[in-house]
Amino acid sequence: MEVDRDFFEIETPITYRDEATGTELVAMPADDFEVITMIDFNSDVLGQQFASLRNLDDYEKEIAPCRTFVFLHELEYLFSQNLIKGGDLDNAIVIVDRVMKQPELDDLAKKLNKPSVKVDKEGILNTVKLHFSNEPARHKLLDVIGDLSLLGKPIKGKIVATKPGHKANVEFTKLLKKYYQEQRKLKGKPKYDPDQEPLFDSVQIAQWLPHRYPFLLVDKIIEMSDHHVVGVKNVSFNEYFFQGHFPNNPVMPGVLQIEAMAQTGGILALSTVDDPGNWDTYFLKIENAKFKQKILPGDTVLFKLELMAPIRRGICQMQATVYVGNKIVSEAELTAQIVKRS
């Protein structure tokens, strides 16, 4: 059975910059995956180079054969540190970035275990022949693709990399991963149409929940299934808690966000009993509560509660996610027990 792939779809530009090196990587929206790399090592031999891959089907032929490269001065440093003993550069490009006399070339040939070496007119040591005139830029593109694979998801977007390197590529991938994780959570964001009649209005909610003003914190229930429920609260400037909680900078208290989550989840929990108005739900545990954005007067808040496991012996475990617009403002894992009112 074929299953649709889960892509990380770039929806807005994402930029990583390293001011020290001048490296910049940008991800932009696009219908497919494509990569563009630009390199500049201030080398007269190498010059500024550009490479692009607009179709992954071309990767094997156009990018995979492209080898790593090293400047002569880097190679000399490695030799001076007694490194790369027995190194064979048949699979690497050596870029000669200074004039070399014959005795130096002979000494280098000995170190490289070659009968002789010379500098071709392109400024490339003749240990290899270039597959493409821009093979170094293509190899950097290969590196970008390899490092992006650490994301663990295929990307639908355009990557533009200027002077990329492994360290910057990995940091950029970490940044993309944060965006992907947020995007994945937002894929479950409920859609709220204020013109659509709710499943429960505030009067009906009060028939199931024991809470009353000023502690009834859910205005509507707009979705409910066997495993999830969505509640709505319209936050006004006249909320009682704004009078004493940062009165000059009104913010909905985190503890009341938790309570609103629980009340929304309570509707789902009580839907499993025959006479919900005669049962209550009590907290047993709150875990992994996170408050990411402020809830302010004028916000319309959506509380989504999803069962983490089937309800057994009256014990409910739910994942709560709270949205304002396209932002997740808070989340928590809640455990409660349904208890019949005596």
What is the CATH code of the structural domain delimited by 202-340?
Answer: 3.10.129.10
pLDDT at residue 74 tops 90: no
Tokens of 103: 């005795």
Task: Kindly list the catalytic residues.
Answer: 166, 245
Q: In the block, which residue shows the tokens 């985190």? A: 254
- Asked if residue 76 lies in contact with residue 104, where contact means CB atoms within 8 angstroms, the answer is no
Q: Does residue 209 contact residue 216 with C-beta atoms inside 8 Å?
A: yes
Residue 276 CB coordination number (10 Å): 17
Q: Can you tell me the distance from the alpha carbon of 325 to that of 185, in angstroms, rounded to the nearest whole number?
A: 13
CA neighbours within 13 Å on the CB side: how many for 84?
Answer: 16
Least confident window among 32-36, 87-91, 262-266, 313-317: 87-91
Read off the pTM.
0.63
Instruction: Report DSSP state, residue 293.
Output: S
Domains 8-186 and 202-340 share a fold: no
Question: Average pLDDT in the 305-316 region?
Answer: 94
Q: With contact defined as beta carbons under 8 Å apart, do 289 and 319 qualify?
A: no
Q: What CATH number should be reported for the domain whose range is 8-186?
A: 3.30.1700.10
Q: Which residue has the higher pLDDT, 150 or 88?
A: 150
- What DSSP assignment string belongs to 193-240? -TTSPPSB-HHHHHHH----TTS----EEEEE-SSEEEEEEE--TT-G
Element (H, E) at 71: strand 68-71
pLDDT of residue 86 exceeding 70: no
Question: What residue ranges do the domains of the chain occupy?
Answer: 8-186, 202-340
Rounded mean pLDDT of 96-110? 76
The enclosing H or E element of 146 equals: helix 135-148
pLDDT above 80: residue 206: yes
Q: Kindly state the average pLDDT of the residues 72-88.
A: 71
